[in-house]
Structure 1
Amino acid sequence: MVAQMEPITEPIRVLYVDDEPEFAEMAATFLEREDDRFDVEIVPSGTEGSARLADEAFDCVISDYEMPGRNGIEFLQAVRDDHPDLPFILHTGKGSEEVASDAISAGVTDYIQKKGNADQYALLANRILNAVEAHRSRRIAAERTRRLETLIGNLPGMVYRCRNEPEWPMETVRGEVEALTGYSAGAIEGDGGVVWGDDILHPDDREEMWATVQAELSAGDTFEVTYRIITEGGETKWMWERGRGVYTDDGELDALEGFITDITERKQREQELAKSESRYRTLAENFPNGAVFYVDGEFRYEIVSGGGFDPLDTAPDDIVGHSVSEVERFSEELVETIEAIHEATLAGRSERVEVPYEDRVFEVRTAPVREDGDVVAGLHIARDITERREREEELQRQNERLEKFAKVVSHDLRNPLNVVEGRLELARAECDSDQLVEAESALERGQALVDDLLSLAREGKVVTEAEPVLLKPIVEQCWASVETGDATLNVDADQAVMADRSRLKQLLENLIRNAVDHVGPEVTVEVGRLADGFYVADDGPGIVANDQETVFESGYSTVPDNTGFGLAIVDEIADAHGWNVTVTESASGGARFEITGVQFDT
């Protein structure tokens, strides 16, 4: 088939080589008038022409014959050494059979004699367009052929063309023919001696293969079949084939073309998968307080069982054997949720989500089922957490009541204290008395007590939503927000903990402030990792053993005028997270506060 020339839309760069500049300028002007796509550049010699071709790309070269130094034929020969396919037109006033013969021998694209009329430039423009279009079409066809050969060479199988006969005689085969069958391409195609249907196709699959292909061709142009072959070495392999019919102009089936690939490993995995399903079935049948679902690659439930179905108006038989969208009792919203879970699991990710169903709430955990490293199914374990959710909701309601109480106390206590503060200011403006100084000190302590009491009330709330918080950055933020003077901080904790960020920040700020207040501005504070948590330690005198049990009680303090609520708030925040906080002796003899029971983000 001859490649159809594609119209040129972009500029056509022409290199015009002629030692007569006036004639060359005139020729360039005529050519650019003939077609505005022409972009003509003029050089006076073949030597300069070669230099320009080495620097830039041109679509066509036009050259005179008689030029000083290198003539047009010699210039053509030089061009062909580096640009064997570049269109080259010899445009010369010296017309002879000898020159024409030499030009053809050197590989000239076209040969035109100079004439004294303007018509020659219309002819020259036409010859340039024809030459450039032909060159570009050949280049495009060559590139398409190269890409096709590359594609076929990279396919995990073979492509073919064969006649639609029970023996499937192959006219052409390409690709991994020998790796697939053990036979060379030459042995299979044409009259090579090996017939696909007689010598390669498994005897037990021949009739079914023929019937399936014919039936699918009758219903449409394409077909898909799975069958076995016997290789040249006697090995049995499973093949998957997809093909289509090739028809003549009058609609007659002329041949079949298609692709064949080896699926033996996939078939073996399917067989192994069938054996392994019994393990999951045992798990499903004995799972209490929930359900186990085993889902194949098409979102179809293969195994469904478990004690969690007892309180539901649904039975495993309503689900097993169906895809998600086919389960009648699943709402549209539930189908979308479950399909998203399936997609993530079959993509190799483990999921943990909460799914409401009927009047219950289930926590669904998933895991990919792998065979030889490939995900072949998904295992989903649903646990009934309805009662746990009800307890958490009750805790949330308690938290809301506590917050409301704190706001009331804050308003009712702060207003009188603010009035007292204002009256003190007025009194000090009228007289100066030591009694007013003592009153102001007591007022400041009262305001501090209100702040700490409110903080203690709020931080005692249960944490219902935690997020991963990197420990080292938040410790450094807390250090920057506390007055630490010349104190030193050492952090050796790069893990992320699951916590309420703002409340974890207050816990750390209180422990840092406690170290500075009790040891002094030159204290060294160290934050490090424990197996199930972290610690905050200092190099001060420490806390005597008898006081280690009472430091977290409200009002405990060894610093004058301190409210004594700082460590009590630390204890409340830890308790709200479900953590434990204890105090012991640090490596340098100071105090070491250990927070344990912490969940790390992995």
Structure 2
Amino acid sequence: MKSQPTVLFVRSASQDGAAVSFLRANGHAVHEFDGVRDLARALDDHETDCVVTNCEVGKPDGTRYLGGLTVIERVRRDHPELPVVLFAEVTNRDIAREAYSRDVFGYVPEAVGDAHQRLLEQVDAAVASSPPRQRATKRKQLNEAVRLVNQALVRSQSRMDIERDVTAVLAGTSRYSEACTVICQHDAAAVRALGSQRDGVTISRPEPLRRAESAGRLVTADLDPAAVPDGEDTLEADCVRVLAVPLVYNGTSYGVLAVYADRVGTFDTEEQDTFREVGHNIALAIDASQTKDALQQRTTELERQKERLRELAQIISHELRNPLQAAMGRVELLATDHATAEFDAVQRSHTRMSFLIDDLMEIAREGGRQYTVEPVSLSDVLAEAWATVDARGSTLDVDCTETVLADSSRLRQLAENFFRVATEYGDAAIAVTDTADGFALEHDGPALEAGSDGPFELYYAATDEGAGLQLAVIREIAHGHGWEVSLTDEETDRVRLNVTGVERPSVDGA
């Protein structure tokens, strides 16, 4: 621990020796240097508590006019935690105003009688304020770094964008000298994104990064720039500390964020806690971007599949409908002269084929249909649907009093498809009833054969003469309304289609 406060004194052309001697006589270690050019070197050479500058000191261009203001700007930029006291040769309110606008700690005009005592008091106050000032500066820098990282996470669209933007904003802060993301493979660390614009950078000592990735925890390590091999452009060349942050979300590792600093006191416990949260947010953003990409790819694939299905349906309709209509016409002509059961069977088969073609086209079109929803009487729609079906001795019992919100034409088509399935073998007893959140359609015919993916998936089985197509149409119409459908036939020996999630018109004044 230092035994006395350390002050850097920037000399001017005037005589500052008395002020320096007075500070030393009162227990301060004072290091003198000339001008702005030597400021960075002096700060590196000494663990400084306060900077004192005269007003007329050498600037980088060789002039001295108001060079003290330049000193204040440089210290504020590179070491904002250090207090600066301006010891001016003359009393000038304009100079004082300019100094305070640059966040100078204190202003002492040299011309006043007790100037040295005032300077000592200002320096002592500055030194006393240094620890809390450093903590406040560090917190401000951390908050700014987190803000910039969060902004980068919001605007980035892909994993590469996230890693590139995050490392760039961290490397561009005043607190850190470099940042990168890496994937550790065996004894090497492969750089994925680099904060600076350098190319071909290597990590000559990847051990802290490898430990962070394998153990899934933060790792800090001291670096020795002198140990970097000559001629190699490595990240560690000008850095003395590194913080390795594992990027892990939901058990998945996305590599390591490495943050480098050129100051020994960087990455204390508070800073590590901050970066632990930053690492979690980065991993979460990467996971979300990859999930979004996967969903987008899946959506694109589904759209292509739908388009192929539409094209297939159009081909089927075009290639089958015309010859089917011709065959139906010929059968009708022959049936007028030969009224036999065989011709009736052929006509039924033709009608069935026509329905199947219509069903395929309906499935292909449903995805792009617009539904016009309005209050409709369920019993009225069911009656209209039943009138279009060849009952073949089947009966329909409707016990529905509800009005529902639906597209009447689509709802009628849903009922028609169920009725066709139910009456396929004739003599079926069909019932439709209201339920708490929709309605149910039942028949006492044979159980339907389900496809490998369930009864509502698109399939065609010889034993049900296309029920899979009609049920697929039913499902598409229900989903177009936002309804759900389920099929049961185990408990009552009746095939029951449940339609749920059906909305009813609201009653005025309710």
Is the strand fraction higher in 1 or 2?
1
Q: Which has the higher contact order (CA 8 A, sep 6+)?
A: 2
* Fold shared, TM-score > 0.5 on shorter chain: no
* TM-score when normalising by structure 1: 0.29
* TM-score when normalising by structure 2: 0.33
Asked which structure has the greater CA Rg, the reply is 1
